[in-house]
């Protein structure tokens, strides 16, 4: 843990967390302390964005003594630490208004002086399992006597390195369509701390592709192929009501734009899960 200052170490959900605390003193100096301890903390932080200044919630908090009261004389002191079998049920996440954060915190207690403290974040990833059933998505949408399309995607549930495959069928076309886009949208929802009846929603377009250019004709079929690995933003698994504090959902947004720049769209939720670390 005492490696480069900006290094963030990643762990799988069930791995133990260990490292070394390194304490540095100026040459010829000494420090008397009342004990050195280390904490492992898992925190849901809702003090960001619209909730700025609000309290956080610690769902994991463990503490260990590294050293009893004494005096440090050496210019460098290294103390190993290890946390075993901790509960790390949530994956690390950093969103617009909420985050899930894991970190270790070293505290050097001092007499008559504030304690010396240092935090170091770690990143937790949670592996999921493929669903037993993964039905296709198939829907018909349109505008009466103007536009009628049928879209289908091969599956509803995808892992984070998956490829989305589908087709768009044009059954009726009586408007002049200029092009068609497919976007992946992340929607984060969190309640207001003081009043759970108010829900804050942040919608973020992660990627947008043009999948058709020009006017289609009746009977035309447009293929859809979107690699999740090509999305520049960090994808996370779908979070459903984490500790009743927030949710993160993903949607495919199909948009048709006509020659007058009017936009017709249809959203479909997809479920994401983590198949491997990375």
Find the CATH number of the domain harbouring 200.
2.60.40.640
* Averaged pLDDT, 105-133: 93
* 99 and 150 together in one domain: no
Query: Which of 78, 90, 65 lies closest to 25, judged by CA?
Result: 78
Q: What is the pLDDT of residues 1-28, one digit of tens each?
A: 444 456 788 899 999 999 999 999 988 8
Q: Are strands 31-33 and 93-94 parallel, antiparallel or unpaired?
A: unpaired
* Domain assignment present for 30: yes
* 78 and 141 together in one domain: no
Query: What's the number of domains the chain is made of?
Result: 2
* 118 and 145 together in one domain: no
What is residue 194's predicted lDDT score, i.e. its pLDDT?
54
* Domain assignment present for 78: yes
* 214 and 156 together in one domain: yes
* Domain assignment present for 53: yes
* 37 and 114 together in one domain: yes
Residue where one domain finishes, among candidates 66, 96, 125:
125
Q: What is the pLDDT of residues 147-190, one digit of tens each?
A: 888 989 999 999 999 999 999 998 988 888 888 899 999 999 88
Q: Which residues contact 7 (CB under 8 A, 6 or more apart)?
A: none
* Domain assignment present for 22: yes
* Averaged pLDDT, 32-54: 82
* 27 and 106 together in one domain: yes
* 148 and 239 together in one domain: yes
* Domain assignment present for 219: yes
Residue 232 Cα distances to 98, 132, 196, 203, 241, angstroms: 21, 29, 33, 16, 25
Tally of residues, the chain: 278
pTM above threshold 0.95: no
* Averaged pLDDT, 140-151: 83
Query: Which of 232, 239, 224 lies closest to 272, judged by CA?
Result: 239
What is residue 6's predicted lDDT score, i.e. its pLDDT?
65
* 18 and 98 together in one domain: yes
CA distance 261 to 56: 44
* Averaged pLDDT, 87-109: 92
What is residue 154's predicted lDDT score, i.e. its pLDDT?
93
Question: What percentage of residues in the chain have a pLDDT greater than 70?
Answer: 93
* 228 and 205 together in one domain: yes
> How does the average pLDDT of the chain come out, rounded?
88
Q: What is the pLDDT of residues 222-239, one digit of tens each?
A: 999 999 988 888 889 999
Residue where one domain finishes, among candidates 125, 147, 169:
125
CA distance 195 to 117: 34
Could you tell me the residue range of the domain that residue 226 belongs to? Answer: 137-273
Confidence of residue 49 (pLDDT cuts 50, 70, 90): low
């Amino acid at each position: 843990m005492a490696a480069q200052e900006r290094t963030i170490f990643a762990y799988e959900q069930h791995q133990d967390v260990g490292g070394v605390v390194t304490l540095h003193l100026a040459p010829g100096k000494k420090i008397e302390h009342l004990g050195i301890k280390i904490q492992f903390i898992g925190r849901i932080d809702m003090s960001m964005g619209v909730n700025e200044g609000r309290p956080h919630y610690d769902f994991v908090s463990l503490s260990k003594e590294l050293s009893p009261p004494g005096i440090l004389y050496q210019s460098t002191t290294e103390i190993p630490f290890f946390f075993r079998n901790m509960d790390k049920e949530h994956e690390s996440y950093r969103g617009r208004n909420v985050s899930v954060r894991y970190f270790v915190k070293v505290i050097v207690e001092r007499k008559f002086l504030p304690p010396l403290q240092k935090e170091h974040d770690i990143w937790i990833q949670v592996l999921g399992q493929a669903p037993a059933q993964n039905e296709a998505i198939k829907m018909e949408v349109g505008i009466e006597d103007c536009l009628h399309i049928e879209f289908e995607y091969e599956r509803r549930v995808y892992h984070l390195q998956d490829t989305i495959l589908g087709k768009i069928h044009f059954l009726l076309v009586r408007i002049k369509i200029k092009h068609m886009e497919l976007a992946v949208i992340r929607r984060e929802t969190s309640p207001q701390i003081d009043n759970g009846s108010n829900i804050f929603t942040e919608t973020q377009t992660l990627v947008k592709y043009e999948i058709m250019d020009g006017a289609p004709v009746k009977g035309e079929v447009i293929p859809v192929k979107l690699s999740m690995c090509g999305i520049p933003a960090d994808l996370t698994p779908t979070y459903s009501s984490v500790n009743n504090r927030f949710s993160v959902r993903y949607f495919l947004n199909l948009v048709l734009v006509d020659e007058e720049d009017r936009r017709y769209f249809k959203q479909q939720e997809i479920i994401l899960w983590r198949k491997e670390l990375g």
